[in-house]
Amino acid sequence: MRLRCDLSFALINLLAIVYPTYQASPGRQSCSSIRKRLEWRSLSQEARISYIKAVKCLATKPSRLGKNFNLRRYDDFQYVHSNSQGQIHFVAQFLPWHRQFIYIYEKELNSCGYSGALPHWNWVLDAKNVTTAPVWSSDSKVR
């Protein structure tokens, strides 16, 4: 268990080293713009297209986890999340870890041209029939 915990922290630290992060400056500041995460249905078609293009862009970039991994940049995030979930999801670091993780993912999406905040899916709205949810759209304009 201790080894898995150490591995989890090593992986997030690796991400923090490899991916640039935000450095807060001391003192009180006000936010000039707050990023609001919108539910998928609330995004314009243009925003959906931009998001999907950015995700596809990440799938073309090489991994930053090293040459020993046969991954792409998009896969880096899945790999780190999957290999950390047992040590992250049920501990006090859950919220700050995920905030940092999502922040890094958003920055990578931004590098691929997506300017919005990471959208979310309110799956409760589709609980009666998840398979018809708009996130699974086959609209060729959004693919």
Q: Return the amino acid letter for 128.
A: K
φ, ψ at 72 (rounded to 5°): -115, 170
Q: What pLDDT is stored for residue 31 in this prediction?
A: 77
- Find, among 121, 122, 107, 53, the residue nearest to 77 by Cα: 107
Q: What pLDDT is stored for residue 20 in this prediction?
A: 56
Q: In sequence order, which ranges of 31-93 are alpha helices (DSSP H)?
A: 45-58, 73-88
- What's the pTM? 0.75
Cα–chain-centroid distance for residue 93? 17
pLDDT, mean over the chain: 84
Q: For residues 139 and 102, which has the higher predicted lDDT (pLDDT)?
A: 102
**Section 28-49 average pLDDT:** 88
Residues written for the chain:
143
Ranking 11-20, 40-49, 104-113, 123-132 by mean pLDDT, the lowest is 11-20
Domain boundaries, the chain: 37-125
- The model's pLDDT over 78-131, given as tens digits with 9 standing for 90+, comes to 999 988 888 888 899 899 999 999 999 999 999 999 999 999 999 999 999 999
- Find, among 51, 54, 105, the residue nearest to 78 by Cα: 105
Ranking 16-25, 29-38, 84-93, 128-137 by mean pLDDT, the lowest is 16-25
Name the pLDDT band for 69 (thresholds 50, 70, 90): confident
pLDDT exceeds 80 at position 140: no
